[in-house]
Amino acid sequence: MREPGSRVARTVPRVVVAVLAVSFVLVACGSDSKTGADGGSPRPRPATTAPPSPGRSAPDSTAVAGPDPVIAAAGDIACPSSCTSTKTVGDMLVEGNYTAVLTLGDNQYEDGRLSEYTRSYDPTWGRVKDKTYPSPGNHDYHDANGAGYYAYFGSRAGPPGKGYYSYDIGTWHLLSLNSEANIDAQLGWVKADLAVNHSRCTLAYWHKPIWTSGNTHRHDGEPMTAIWNALVEGGADVVLNGHVHNYERFAPRDGIRAFIVGTGGRDSHYGFAQTASLSEVRDNSTDGLLRLTLHPAGYDWRFLPVPGGTFSDAGAGTCR
């Protein structure tokens, strides 16, 4: 296993593919100039007759002109009664008119049952379900094998019971991963997926972070270390996580910048302990969204607080 912190050369050539298309892969297995910019409606890719292994469809050769897509992301979202910010953050998603919404796990507390999703998540974040690309968290798996999560999101969650899939937005390749189950199977899948990825910019997201300055859950994400190493070798640029109920941004580690955005509405923020290596910015007082503008060769980010929140964070990065 390659340890985090070791520099590796990229093994896959990366060519910018000028598309503004979104394609699910059902594998059998931030410029900051404008709040809520419309990056265009996702467009499914046509299936190919012989898609590359492990089932990811080949890039669409049709270029689509338009503004760079703008996406929003957060995790740790809805609960039956006490999550006062969930609807507010959901309102921000509706008003923002984002190209896509990424959930970073623990979509529904306390146990991820379908009845809980229907009661809490659906009337808040569920208003943008048709543009949501979810990932599961440990609370989603309190229901046996994530049954409520897969029942609620259906095909949007990828292959039933797997919890990982990939797709493209604009010129970017994205991987939604599962830190709760199937980790060994995912490792081979991630390597194969990245081997046929020719996008210059790649983003991956899952629930449990490997590094955190939070005073809880400090080692929960370590089982994902081998997948992190595969992402480093495959040339990924950005990783998003939730699980820790705060916001934290890290300097690039082996070329990948990581964010923790456990601010989707759960309210109960965690304290900070020893500062993790490469941590640059931390906040444990504000719910909100991370907005990312996906440019062909880089990205802009801005943390958008709920109304009344004073914390924000913004910057830009370049893809490898």
Residue 297 belongs to a domain: yes
Q: Which domain holds residue 314?
A: 70-318
Residue 79 belongs to a domain: yes
- The pTM score is 0.80
Q: How many domains are contained in the chain?
A: 1
Could you give the CA distance from residue 17 to residue 200 in angstroms, rounded to a whole number? 8
Which positions ≥6 away from 284 have C-beta within 8 Å?
A: 214, 245, 246, 247, 269, 270, 271, 272
Which positions ≥6 away from 143 have C-beta within 8 Å?
A: 111, 112, 113, 114, 149
Read off the CATH number of the domain in which 107 is found. Answer: 3.60.21.10
Residue 92 belongs to a domain: yes
Q: What is the pLDDT along the chain (320 residues), one digit of tens a residue?
A: 333 333 333 444 443 333 334 444 433 333 333 333 333 333 333 322 222 333 343 333 333 458 999 999 999 999 887 788 999 999 999 999 999 999 998 999 878 799 999 999 999 999 999 999 999 998 788 787 899 999 999 999 999 899 999 999 999 999 999 999 999 999 999 999 999 999 999 999 999 999 999 877 666 668 999 999 999 999 999 999 999 999 999 999 999 999 999 999 876 677 778 899 999 999 999 999 999 999 999 999 999 999 999 999 999 999 99
Residue 52 belongs to a domain: no
Residue 158 belongs to a domain: yes
Residue 295 belongs to a domain: yes
Full DSSP string of 230-267? HHHHTT--EEEE-SSSSEEEE--BTTBEEEEE--SS--
3-state secondary structure 154-179: HHHHCCCCCCCEEEEECCEEEEECCC
Buried b (16+ CB within 10 A) or exposed e, 178-209: bbbebbeebbebbbbbbebbebbbbbbbbbbb
Residue 22 belongs to a domain: no
Residue 229 belongs to a domain: yes
